[in-house]
Amino acid sequence: MITPKVPPKKPKHVYKLLIKILLFDALMRLTPPLSIFALSVVVVAVYKASPTRARRKIKSASIDIRQKLSDWIKPDVPEPVEEVEDEFVYNDNDPLVQDAKKNMEQREADDKSYPPETE
């Protein structure tokens, strides 16, 4: 008896799995906390599946990242605040005041050399 060749049917559980993966992927793209959770699950799975030498390096890297994040979010040492004196004490003999006076006199002399403005 000759039977026609029919492609084998894929099991239904594969389709269900693909649909679940598609829905999970859509949720991950919509909600960042879920994608962070998925990333952490993948990191834990990689850590558990890796050999001992790689585990030490992963653990060291994760501790460094945590330390840098905690330093960035909440630094331990407050930055020193320098007190800046905002008040200017006027003194006619001050070289800064003398330079400003010379510059003002020079500008006034330059303005007088031009003809007066007409409207």
Q: Is residue 23 part of a domain?
A: yes
Q: Is residue 102 part of a domain?
A: no
Q: Which pLDDT value is given to residue 112?
A: 66
Q: Which pLDDT value is given to residue 111?
A: 66
pLDDT of the chain along its 119 residues, tens only? 677 777 777 666 778 888 888 888 887 787 777 777 777 888 888 888 888 888 888 888 888 888 888 887 776 666 677 777 777 777 888 888 889 888 888 887 766 666 666 76
Q: Which pLDDT value is given to residue 43?
A: 81
Q: Which pLDDT value is given to residue 11?
A: 67
Domains held by the chain: number: 1
Q: Which pLDDT value is given to residue 77?
A: 67
Q: Is residue 57 part of a domain?
A: yes
Q: Is residue 117 part of a domain?
A: no
Q: Is residue 85 part of a domain?
A: no
Q: Is residue 91 part of a domain?
A: no
Q: Is residue 63 part of a domain?
A: yes
- The range of the structural domain enclosing residue 63 comes to 12-73
DSSP code per residue over the chain? ------PPPPPHHHHHHHHHHHHHHHHHHH-HHHHHHHHHHHHHHHHHHS-HHHHHHHHHHHHHHHHHHHHHHS-SSPPPPPP--------TT-HHHHHHHHHHHHHHHHHHHSPPP--
